[in-house]
A and B are shown apart, each in its own frame.
Chain A
Amino acid sequence: MSVLSAFAVLIDGLVYAAYLFIVAIGLTLIFGVMKILNVAHGSFFTFGAYGAASAVGIYFNRGLPDAGGYLLMVLFAMALGLVLGLILERGIMRWVYGRDEVVMVLVTYAAFLILEDVVILVWGPGSYATYQPLLAAGNIEIGELVVSNYDLGLIAAAAVLAAIYYWALKFTRYGRLLTAVIFDRETAAAFGINVRVVYTVTFVIGAMLGALGGAIMAPKIAVTLGIGVEVIVLAFAVVAIGGMGSIEGALAGALIVGICRAATVHLVPQVELFVIYAVMALVLMIRPYGLFVRAQPRKI
């Protein structure tokens, strides 16, 4: 494999990893804190993407400066995520806390089905193209390879997000509260932490992150029905590989899957279809709880 190909694999891997990371981070947060595998995360992604599509559609045709468009896209999507997260959490989730884990997953699945059709009601069944941010960013040439600046921006965005997340979790008061709740909900509650409020805030942040993922990806893909379904499985796989509730895990999982997939496409394109599942199966075989797992006390 030539140096250029190796470089291409690295860049492609990082871009794909950035995409996976942004999408998975919200999911792993919700799971870590609330122990719910949120299938509706796909809906947050979808709403973020459609919201970005609408925002871009309104903005870019007016000849206003490009930078504002990016900001608007992101803010609009996150606002949608906020609203949606609140509605879902206050309206549905809080009635089912305390029930069996699988029941919670299915409640989120029901919510996902409903929201898929809400998208049709609001935006119609057609697909939307929001390519302006992608093309406006331009590209740079590295030898034979042409890399889009938008993709590089994506990598930067993911890195920044990871950094913020890490800092927030370790160095802010709220972050430490969250860590406590992730570790042991009962003890945290015994210490006076208002776990219910923490749940709501976490869910909403998770929703906003999911929507952000959708908004960032929207210019690259065709915003159409069904994008949520694909994303859910990818996010689940990344989180399973990395370990549920772990931010380092999401990062590691995203990087592993991203680079593996990029390498597969360049070298062995035939197996690209299930490389992510094969990787997940492999990792789980070696480390049954994912790569970064917290030690769990054993109940006798």
Chain B
Amino acid sequence: MARRDRIAAGSAFVAAAAAAFVLPDWMISLATIALANGLVVLGLIVMWRAGLVSFGQALYYCMGGYAVALLGRWAGVTDAFLLVLVGGLSAAVVSFLVGFLLARYREIFFAMLSLALSMILYGLLVKTESLGSTDGLNVIVPTFLGYAPHREKLLVALYLLVVVVCAAAALLTHAYFRSLAGALAIPVRDNEIRVEFLGMSVSRLIHTKLVISGMLAGIGGALAALAVGHVDPNMSYWTTSGEFVFITILAGAGSVGAAFVGSLAFESVRSFAFAMLPQLWQMLLGSVLLLTILFLPQGLGSLIKRLHWGRGAKAP
């Protein structure tokens, strides 16, 4: 990793961690949820580099969340690290199984099939009264390797956990992008058949990416469940997936940090819209996003340049 980038990453991490002790409580809680969502967006970026957009990440997000809720409720597990790990793993298992089916599809049909699967989970959860149906379940208060904080300390602890997990995920994903499998994403997006002729298995590559993004979404869902304290089937609804895709486009799929920055920006804008225009916040959100797409391409612009003309795609 270039030295400049290393300094930037390091200072961002320190700043984020330090912010926990400076910012007011409501900002910390907002940032926690935003960063957890940023993990899902990171997963979407992994897939988008290969040309796939999934409208069904909510499936894994929801799985991660419910895994945490159920583990806490039925097995009494409260350790946050364990809960998040299990959340991520359960989502990874599901994405591994689902991947056998999904890896065969591309473009819009990939999007639609992934959407269909997440809506099937939604339907199943709504039908199941023992899981609370649409009322959902409350999540237990987490502990951290024996340390059991309350109130403000809990908030800060959760926030720091999320920051650490996001940093780890960012580093690992960045390393993945620099590996062969990660670097092959762009050739796969451009022309799969040539990649096949080169001797690589495209479907195996895509399957791997599906599992990675599924796991990231599951971890994000688990963290969000702990932060919000409640899970419900709406986590699997297509509008949730749509939001994640939106943030991805906003952030631009070119870089790892953009996932978290974009997510923070989106949550802030939404909160702002809610506070300013209680009945017209959708319009504000839609306008901001439209204007961003039209006039402030930023990540969008550099992404599109790379997509269509392959220019500016320097090695990371």
A interface residues (Cβ-Cβ under 8 A, vs B):
37, 92, 95-96, 99-103, 106-107, 109-114, 116-118, 120-121, 125, 229, 233, 236-237, 240, 244, 270-271, 273-274, 277-278, 280-281, 284-285, 288-290, 298-300
Contacts and interface: CB of A to CB of B under 8 A. Distances in A.
B53 A284 contact: no
Nearest to B294: A95
A120 B279 contact: yes
Contact of B283 (A103, A106, A107, A118): A118
Contacts, number: 114
Contact of A284 (B116, B242, B246, B249): B116
Interface of A is mostly: helix
A111 B112 contact: no
Given A102-B245, A107-B294, A113-B289, 14 more contacts: A96-B293, A99-B304, A103-B249, A113-B282, A113-B286, A116-B282, A117-B280, A118-B283, A120-B279, A233-B115, A274-B120, A277-B117, A278-B120, A284-B112
A96 B119 CA distance: 30
Contacts of B239: 229
Contacts of A244: 108
Given A103-B293, A106-B245, A113-B282, A281 B117 contact: yes
B130 interface: no
B111 to A, nearest CB: 8
Interface of B: 53, 101, 104-105, 107-109, 112-113, 115-117, 119-120, 122-124, 126-127, 191, 193-194, 238-239, 242, 245-246, 249, 279-283, 285-287, 289-290, 293-294, 300, 303-304, 307
Contact of B108 (A37, A118, A120, A125): A37
Nearest to B113: A284
B123 A274 contact: yes
A177 B231 CA distance: 51
A200 B179 CA distance: 45
Contact of A277 (B116, B281, B290): B116
**Residue of A109, A112, A244, A278 with highest tally of chain B CB at under 10 A:** A109
A110 B115 CA distance: 19
Contact of A110 (B53, B113, B126, B289): B289
A188 B242 CA distance: 33
Contacts of A107: 290, 293-294
B112 A240 contact: yes
